[in-house]
Amino acid sequence: MTVSKARGTLALVGGGEFDDACLPLHRDLLAASGGGNVVVLPTAAAFEHPERVVDAATDHFAQLGATVTPLLALNRRDAEDDALVKVAKAARFVYIADGSPLHLRSVLKDSSLFTVIANSWRSGGVLAASGAGATLVADPMVDPRGGAYTVGLGLVENLALFPYHGTAADHMRERSIELLPDNATLAGLDDHTAIVLASDGTWRAVGPGAVTVYRAGVAPAVYHDSVIDTLTI
């Protein structure tokens, strides 16, 4: 598993990102960002009322005394829009919300917007992604059409994420475990639960649920609110 260049804090969440159960995680991420504003991308929900994602995020972060700036990059053209790219470039905390991972990939892959988001994180900012966003940020990506693997954005290589791990259909979860490449690690993330990569390179399970780590030929390892010693970069 590799992460290129310097980095800030990366949080990959299993889902339910704007429920109250995620408030402790987000309080810590706000502190790591050093600010009180979160730039939220509802891109993955482009066809499912993205404004509702923004409203949910706004209400959620208001409980922590923070504001939300929506970044409405809903299609590929938006991902090359200079004004939207400028907003992302100035952000210290970017949040990629849940929805359709395949639409999200079509918008962000090799885009000016994602380049700026990645560079902001590498320069010490905070990047959080939930559900579809979490699966896409890493590589390989679990394909939602059947549980096999496809290409992600590769911010973290040789790491795949399986969101909603505790509540997902058994056949999907079992297929992703069965087809896991030998050189990759699969992290199953329960709802409201994240793996967080700190700037010092340490991975930690954070949240009320479990993080289950799978590798080919090795028994699964389960973590609750602890350092994940089986994930290294």
Residues 89-99 as b or e (16 or more Cβ within 10 Å = b): eebbbbbbbbb
Taking only the tens place, the pLDDT of each residue in 2-38 is 555 557 999 999 999 999 999 999 999 999 999 999 9
pTM exceeds 0.85: yes
**Looking at domain 2-223, what is its CATH homologous superfamily?**
Class I glutamine amidotransferase (GATase) domain (3.40.50.880)
Taking only the tens place, the pLDDT of each residue in 82-117 is 999 999 999 999 999 999 999 999 999 999 999 999
For residue 28, report the phi and psi dihedrals to the nearest 5 degrees.
-65, -40
Contact between 124 and 149 (Cβ < 8 Å): no
